[in-house]
């Protein structure tokens, strides 16, 4: 074998070992890759860092949208106002208010959609009008209520009854509760319960959902013109109607503490008044100057206070 033949053989042998791995794994037919090629491809295709599966947030988002639509369509008063203001806060933060309004237009009644779309305009005008209002100049509650409703309707139009549903309920209830001042003591409890039944659907707005709240409200409405024994009788009737035994005992204990405090204060005031009378009598016979007398009185009063609270 000559020199060129030897070089040719060596080149062929070297090419066998240097041939790409995938091509060397081709089977004897030379057409199809072997199973090892598939494994190699899978290893190469596998990402270096595993990716966490994506969590679908669409159901949660859809539930929030459905809840918002329900609130905008069905609620009123503070609940409605909160929903509207939350909508505007969210869409302004995302800078997509126009698209969100467009999506909601077919979901809301025309009246409620107009309220939602124009809420900020209405609210700015209302704040300006409200700051300049003079409700405190009206002496009668009925006049204040009438003026408030007039201003609200002037700014909000037909939307006033929705936006101020809670305020209107509170004002109207306040007007009606004044009629209890004309009730006879024997009829007070029945008249009060009749009033509560009439306003049952507005208990949340009136803060009268709990029985304890009904009791406190009833006590606050007892006319001052009733004699003390009638007041105590009505309080007991209200307590039996709306309170548990534990609550009744707690109130009785609290009232006893208040009575003791009032008696303590009354005794202090009586004894202090007696001291001033004694000092006035002494002033007639003393030769002290005015400044000396004032100093003397201050010392006596200070000593009285220290002794009184020390020995109580």
Give the 3-state secondary structure of 217-247.
HHHHCCCCCCCHHHHHHHHHHHHHHHCCHHH
Q: Give residue 120's domain range.
A: 76-163
186-200 average pLDDT score: 97
Point out the domain boundary residue: 215, 243, 271: 243
Cα–Cα distances (Å) from 67 to 62, 113, 166, 185, in that order, read 9, 16, 21, 48
Q: With CA atoms as reference, report the closest residue to 234 among 178, 180, 173.
A: 180
Report if residue 290 sits inside a domain. Answer: yes
Question: Does residue 191 have a pLDDT over 50?
Answer: yes
Report if residue 248 sits inside a domain. Answer: no
Report if residue 168 sits inside a domain. Answer: no
**47-51, 242-246, 262-266: which range is least confident on average?**
47-51
Report if residue 156 sits inside a domain. Answer: yes
Residue 129: predicted pLDDT? 94
pTM value is 0.64
Whether the CB-CB separation of 128 and 46 falls below 8 Å is answered with: no
Question: Does residue 62 have a pLDDT over 90?
Answer: no
- DSSP letter at 130 equals H
Report if residue 293 sits inside a domain. Answer: yes
Note whether 154 and 182 are same-domain residues: no
Note whether 114 and 135 are same-domain residues: yes
CB neighbours of 312 closer than 8 A, spacing ≥ 6?
264
| Domains identified in the chain, total number | 4
Question: Does residue 51 have a pLDDT over 90?
Answer: no
Q: Determine what percent of the chain is predicted with pLDDT higher than 70.
A: 80
Report if residue 70 sits inside a domain. Answer: no
Q: Determine what percent of the chain is predicted with pLDDT higher than 90.
A: 62
Question: Does residue 26 have a pLDDT over 90?
Answer: no
Per-residue model confidence as pLDDT tens digits over 94-110: 999 999 999 999 999 99
């Amino acid at each position: 074998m000559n020199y060129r033949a030897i070089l040719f053989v060596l080149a062929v042998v070297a090419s066998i070992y240097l041939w790409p791995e995938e091509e060397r794994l081709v089977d004897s037919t030379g057409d199809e890759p072997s199973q090892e090629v598939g494994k190699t491809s899978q290893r190469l295709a596998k990402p270096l860092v595993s990716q966490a599966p994506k969590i679908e947030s669409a159901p949660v988002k859809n539930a929030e949208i459905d809840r918002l639509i329900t609130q905008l369509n069905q609620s009123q008063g503070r609940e409605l106002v909160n929903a509207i203001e939350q909508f505007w806060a969210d869409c302004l933060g995302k800078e997509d208010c126009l698209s969100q309004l467009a999506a909601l237009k077919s979901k809301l009644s025309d009246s409620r959609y107009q309220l939602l779309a124009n809420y900020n305009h209405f609210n700015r005008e209302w704040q300006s009008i409200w700051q300049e209002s003079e409700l405190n100049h009206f002496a009668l509650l009925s006049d204040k209520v009438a003026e408030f409703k007039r201003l609200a309707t002037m700014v909000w139009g037909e939307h006033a009854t929705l936006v101020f549903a809670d305020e209107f309920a509170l004002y109207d209830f306040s007007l009606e509760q004044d009629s209890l001042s004309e009730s006879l003591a024997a009829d007070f409890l029945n008249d009060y319960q009749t009033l509560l039944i009439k306003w049952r659907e507005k208990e949340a707005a009136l803060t009268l959902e709990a029985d304890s709240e009904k009791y406190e409200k009833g006590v606050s409405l007892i006319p001052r013109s009733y004699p003390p024994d009638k007041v105590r009788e009505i309080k007991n009737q209200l307590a039996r109607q709306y309170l548990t035994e534990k609550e009744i005992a707690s109130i009785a204990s609290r009232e006893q503490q208040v009575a003791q405090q009032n008696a303590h204060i009354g005794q202090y005031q009586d004894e202090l008044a007696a001291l001033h009378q004694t000092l006035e009598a002494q002033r007639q016979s003393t030769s002290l100057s005015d400044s000396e007398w004032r100093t003397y009185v201050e010392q006596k009063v200070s000593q009285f206070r220290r002794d009184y609270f020390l020995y109580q």
